[in-house]
C-alpha cells in the first residue's frame, strides 16, 4: 500500500492550504463581529474557493463539482480545519444525500448550491430528540398533493443563511422517517431563535418551528420511510470530515505552540528547553500523527469498491470519536504552553479551545460513537474494524 500523495493530491493540498491561509486573514474580523462577515466579503471568498477548486468538493463532476474521492476530500478538509471561526463553512459542502434527488430536485435544489446561488441546511435535531432521532415528534401528515409538516428543529447548522432545509419527519400513521425539502420562507416556517454558543461561528445554528407547512409530493427526498438510511449516510460523511478538520486544527495548534515555546524565554532560556513543555509537544505530535493516519485510512477504504457500508459507518464513528477527543487534548496542552496568552481571544489557540469542544457533541456525541462502535464489534467481531483484505 502506497501512502504517498499522488501529484494531483499534492496539488490539491497546496491549493486547499493556500485558500485556508486566505481565510485566516479574516479570523480576527469574524471574532470581533461575533461570527458573521459582510456579505461582499463572503462572496469574494466564495469566488476564491471556486477558483481554487475547493468549493462543493463532495459533488461529482457531472453535477458541477470537482469529483473528488473521499480521501481527496479529507485532504482538503484537514487544511480547512486549521482556520478558526468555522470559516470553513464558506467553501460550501452540500449535504451529500442531495445526489439521491430526482433530476427535477437536482435542478431545483442541488445545482444552484454548486453554483453558489443557494444554500442548504440539514434539520434533524429536536428539543427532545438529539442522540435518539427516533424520539422525534416532527410529523408529516398526508394531504391532497403532498404533506403537512408540523414540529420543531434545533441546532440547524447554517440554517440562518440557508434557502431551504432538508427536514426529517415521521410520515403518515406508520411514522416512517422521511426527508423533505422545505423552503425556509414557506408559510408556516418560522426561525424562532439563533442561540449564542461558545464559539463565534461565521454562520449560526438556529431553531425552527413548522406549523402546517405544505410540502408537495415532488419534494420528498428519496422514498417515504428512507429517512434514517439517508441520514445515516449523511452522518457517515460528516463524521469523517469532522475527524479531518479536528486533525487539521490540532496540527495548527501544535505548530503555534511549538513556535511559541521556541521563542518564549523564561528563567533565561526558551521554554522549549524544559522537559515538561517537551513532553506536551511530543504528546501533541503523537496525537496528530496517529489520528491523521487513521482518518486517511478510513477515507481510502471508503473509496474502494465493495466496501461494506455498515462497517464504514462504524469506522467513521471511530475516526470522529478518536480524532475529536485527541484534538481536545492537543488544544488543552497548547493553551497551557501559551500560558496567559492562551486565554486571550486575540490568539488562535484560545478560539480553537472553544471551537473544538463541540466536535465531541455535534453529528453524534462521543458517547453515541462509542455505542455505534461497540454495536459493530458485538454483531460482527473485531475483524470488522480491521483493514480490508480485498
Mean pLDDT score of the chain: 96
Spatial CB neighbours of 119, under 8 Å, sequence gap ≥ 6: 92, 113, 158, 161, 162, 163
Q: Rounded to an integer, what distance in angstroms lies between the CA atom of residue 349 and that of residue 332? A: 9
> SS3 letters for 33-79?
CCCCCCHHHHHHHHHHHHHHCCCCCCCCHHHCCCCCCHHHHHHHHHH
Q: Rounded to an integer, what distance in angstroms lies between the CA atom of residue 17 and that of residue 24? A: 10
pLDDT digits (tens, 9 = 90+) for 128-141: 887 777 788 999 99
Least confident of 13-22, 61-70, 303-312: 303-312
pLDDT digits (tens, 9 = 90+) for 236-245: 999 999 999 9
Q: Rounded to an integer, what distance in angstroms lies between the CA atom of residue 219 and that of residue 105? A: 7
Q: Rounded to an integer, what distance in angstroms lies between the CA atom of residue 140 and that of residue 260? A: 55
The conformation of residue 203, written as its DSSP 8-state character, comes to S
pLDDT digits (tens, 9 = 90+) for 77-98: 999 999 999 999 999 999 999 9
Q: Which of 384, 202, 199 is nearest to 307 (CA)?
A: 384
Question: Is the confidence at residue 387, as pLDDT, over 90?
Answer: no
pLDDT category of residue 388 using cuts at 50, 70 and 90: confident
Question: Is the confidence at residue 232, as pLDDT, over 70?
Answer: yes
Question: Is the confidence at residue 390, as pLDDT, over 60?
Answer: no
40: left (phi over 0), alpha (psi -120 to 50) or beta: alpha
CA 265 to chain CA centroid, nearest Å: 38
Q: Which of 189, 163, 151 is nearest to 95 (CA)?
A: 163
* pLDDT (0 to 100) of residue 383: 80
Cross-strand bridge partners of residue 209: 152, 190
* pLDDT (0 to 100) of residue 130: 78
Write down all domains in the chain, each with its CATH number in brackets.
Answer: 7-93 (no CATH), 120-223 (2.40.110.10), 228-385 (1.20.140.10)
* pLDDT (0 to 100) of residue 351: 97
pTM listed for this prediction: 0.96
Amino acid at each position: 500500500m502506497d501512502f504517498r500523495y499522488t501529484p494531483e493530491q499534492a496539488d490539491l493540498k497546496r491549493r486547499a492550504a493556500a485558500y485556508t491561509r486566505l481565510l485566516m486573514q479574516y479570523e480576527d474580523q469574524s471574532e470581533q463581529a461575533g461570527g458573521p462577515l459582510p456579505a461582499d466579503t463572503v462572496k469574494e471568498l466564495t469566488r476564491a474557493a471556486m477558483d481554487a477548486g475547493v468549493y462543493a468538493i463532495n459533488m461529482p463532476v457531472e453535477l458541477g463539482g470537482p469529483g473528488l474521492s473521499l480521501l481527496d476530500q479529507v485532504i482538503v478538509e484537514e487544511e480547512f480545519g486549521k482556520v478558526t471561526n468555522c470559516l470553513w463553512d464558506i467553501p460550501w459542502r452540500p449535504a451529500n444525500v442531495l445526489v439521491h434527488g430526482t433530476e427535477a430536485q437536482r435542478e431545483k435544489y442541488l445545482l444552484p448550491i454548486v453554483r453558489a446561488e443557494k444554500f442548504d441546511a440539514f434539520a434533524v435535531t429536536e428539543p427532545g430528540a438529539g442522540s435518539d432521532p427516533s424520539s422525534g415528534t416532527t410529523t408529516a401528515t398526508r394531504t391532497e398533493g403532498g404533506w403537512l409538516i408540523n414540529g420543531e428543529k434545533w441546532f440547524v447548522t447554517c440554517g440562518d443563511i440557508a434557502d431551504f432545509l432538508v427536514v426529517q419527519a415521521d410520515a403518515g400513521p406508520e411514522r416512517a422517517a422521511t426527508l423533505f425539502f422545505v423552503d425556509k420562507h414557506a408559510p408556516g416556517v418560522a426561525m424562532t431563535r439563533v442561540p449564542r454558543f461558545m464559539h463565534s461561528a461565521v454562520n449560526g445554528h438556529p431553531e425552527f418551528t413548522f406549523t402546517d407547512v405544505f410540502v408537495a409530493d415532488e419534494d420528498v427526498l428519496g422514498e417515504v420511510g428512507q429517512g434514517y438510511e439517508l441520514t445515516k449516510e449523511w452522518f457517515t460523511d460528516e463524521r469523517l470530515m469532522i475527524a479531518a478538520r479536528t486533525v487539521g486544527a490540532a496540527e495548527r495548534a501544535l505548530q503555534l505552540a511549538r513556535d511559541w515555546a521556541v521563542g518564549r524565554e523564561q528563567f533565561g532560556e526558551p521554554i522549549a528547553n524544559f522537559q515538561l513543555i517537551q513532553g506536551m509537544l511530543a504528546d501533541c505530535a503523537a496525537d496528530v500523527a496517529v489520528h491523521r493516519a487513521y482518518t486517511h485510512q478510513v477515507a481510502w477504504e471508503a473509496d474502494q469498491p465493495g466496501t461494506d457500508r455498515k462497517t464504514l459507518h462504524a469506522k467513521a464513528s471511530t475516526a470522529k470519536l478518536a480524532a475529536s477527543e485527541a484534538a481536545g487534548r492537543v488544544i488543552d496542552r497548547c493553551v497551557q504552553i501559551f500560558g496567559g496568552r492562551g486565554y486571550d481571544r486575540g490568539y488562535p489557540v484560545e478560539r480553537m479551545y472553544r471551537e473544538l469542544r463541540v466536535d465531541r457533541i455535534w453529528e453524534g456525541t462521543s458517547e453515541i460513537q462509542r455505542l455505534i462502535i461497540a454495536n459493530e464489534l458485538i454483531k460482527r467481531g473485531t475483524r470488522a474494524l480491521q483493514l480490508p483484505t480485498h
